[in-house]
Amino acid sequence: GAVVSQHPSWVICKSGTSVKIECRSLDFQATTMFWYRQFPKQSLMLMATSNEGSKATYEQGVEKDKFLINHASLTLSTLTVTSAHPEDSSFYICSARGRGLDTGELFFGEGSRLTVL
C-alpha cells in the first residue's frame, strides 16, 4: 500500500515553455503533498506543501508564480514550472501523507527529471 505515482519520469522542453508534473496517490487519500527539488549530488530541498483544496504554502525563496502547485483532489497534485529556463533543470520529487495513514513517514513518487534546453 501507500503508492505514489509521478508522471512524467523524464521531460525535455524548450526554454520559455511550461511543464506540468503530476503526482498521484494510488491507494490512499493524500491530504498533504510535498514537492521537493533535488540538484545533482545534493539533498532534497522542500519547495512547497499543499493541502487538498487549499493554496500551497511555499518555502522561503521559492517563487510561487514560477512553480504553480495545485492540489485539487485527494489523489492528485500538480506542479507546473512556468516559462521554464535552463536553471530550472532539476529532479523534482513529490511525496504524500494520507488520511488515516499518518504514521510519520512520507511516501515518495519516483521523481521527474526536467531538462530545459
Partner 1 sequence: AQSVAQPEDQVNVAEGNPLTVKCTYSVSGNPYLFWYVQYPNRGLQFLLKYITGDNLVKGSYGFEAEFNKSQTSFHLKKPSALVSDSALYFCAVRDIRGDKIIFGKGTRLHILP
Q: What residues line the site for partner 1 (CB under 8 A)?
A: 4, 6, 32, 34, 42-44, 46, 49, 91, 93, 95, 103-111, 113
Q: Which of 28/34 has CB closer to partner 1?
A: 34
Smallest separation, CB 117 to partner 1 (Å): 19
Phi first, then psi, for residue 99 (nearest 5°) are -65, 125
In this structure, what is the dihedral angle of CA atoms 71, 72, 77, 79, given to the nearest 10 degrees? -70
* CB 30 within 8 Å of CB 97: yes
Give min distance, CB of 44 to partner 1, in A. 5
Neighbours of 79 (CB within 10 A): 25
Beta carbon of residue 102, minimum distance to partner 1 (angstroms, whole number): 10
